[in-house]
Amino acid sequence: MKRVLWCAALVLLAGCGGAVLPQVHDEGSRLALAQKLYDKGDYTLAVEALAPFGTSGSGSTYVDEAVYLLGLCHLRMKDYLGAQGDFERLVRDYPESDSASSAVYRIGEAMWGQTRGPDFDQEYTLKALDQFMLFRREHPDHWLAEAASRRIAEARSRLAVKLYRTGDLYVKLKEYESAKRYFRDVLTEYSESPVYGDALIGWAVASARLGQRDTALAVLRDLEGEFSGRPLGLKAAQTRAQMAKWPSVTKRKRRAEPNEPPPIASPPGGGYTP
């Protein structure tokens, strides 16, 4: 009979367009209802069902599970700031919870939801990357460890693209020293990135423009041979062919003498004249 009433409550809930919650009499039933609503995709109603846990319930047996589920609902609703607060509360207030380790990963997911593409500021990409790396260090055998590894790779790739595009922009602006620094950062910090080869070509271009054409041509020749017949090899070959036609850059020689005005001639008769 109790099961029939429970099912009837859920049917009533669905039939009303998800606008009315069935009455619940204890926290365990409330959590179970919220879980069913979450599984159905009714995240807004699930949040409503979990509302008492959001501000109180510190003495409840179910509070840690409820806070974790509340965070999952906010993630699904793309309320990333709210989700981050939920998961941080769980880790801070209920570190012994079975869900605490998963919450460490979910904090990273909430931060990742606040990130922007490589053309924009990467503050949250860096925060999310740090969080995923923290999770993987602390919980290497967790069932979410593989997902964290994928996020780490995605974040590092985005940061590498950001650096590469900035370097490319400086090449267009003819700020070759700055461009070279950004390309070097890609080469030294993100060697696994898909834009590594493009950054190496960019570094060669900037180097050639700064008078190091022989070195740049050698780098492009090696890249062309290593990736022969592939897009990166073809790009290196085209860049090398264009570079060979560039006029030589003549470096300005440094003055042997200090760049100072000539000494003032002494007045007739010598000595100091005020």
The answer to whether 57 and 23 are in contact (CB under 8 A) is no
> Rounded to 5 degrees, what angle do the CA atoms 235, 236, 242 make?
90
Q: Supply the pLDDT for residue 27.
A: 85
Q: Supply the pLDDT for residue 257.
A: 56
Distance CA 206, CA 208 (A): 5
pTM for the full predicted model: 0.80
Sign of CA dihedral 267, 269, 270, 271: negative
Q: Please give the chain's pLDDT, 274 residues, in tens.
A: 444 444 444 444 444 444 567 676 688 899 999 999 999 999 999 999 998 887 655 557 899 999 999 999 999 999 999 999 999 999 999 999 999 999 999 999 999 999 999 999 999 999 999 999 999 999 999 999 999 999 999 999 999 999 999 999 999 999 999 999 999 999 999 999 999 999 999 999 999 999 999 999 999 999 999 999 999 999 999 999 999 999 987 655 555 555 555 555 555 554 444 4
What residue ranges define each of the domains in the chain, with the CATH number in brackets?
A: 22-114 (1.25.40.10)
Q: Supply the pLDDT for residue 259.
A: 56
- pLDDT tens column, 24-63: 668 889 999 999 999 999 999 999 999 888 765 555 789 9
Q: Supply the pLDDT for residue 5.
A: 41
Token readout for 181 is 């620094």
CA distances from 23 to 4, 8, 18, 43, 49 (A): 15, 12, 14, 18, 10
Q: Supply the pLDDT for residue 61.
A: 85
Tokens 């940061």 locate to: 159
Token readout for 89 is 């509360």
Token readout for 236 is 């290196």
Q: Supply the pLDDT for residue 137.
A: 98
Token readout for 103 is 């919450």
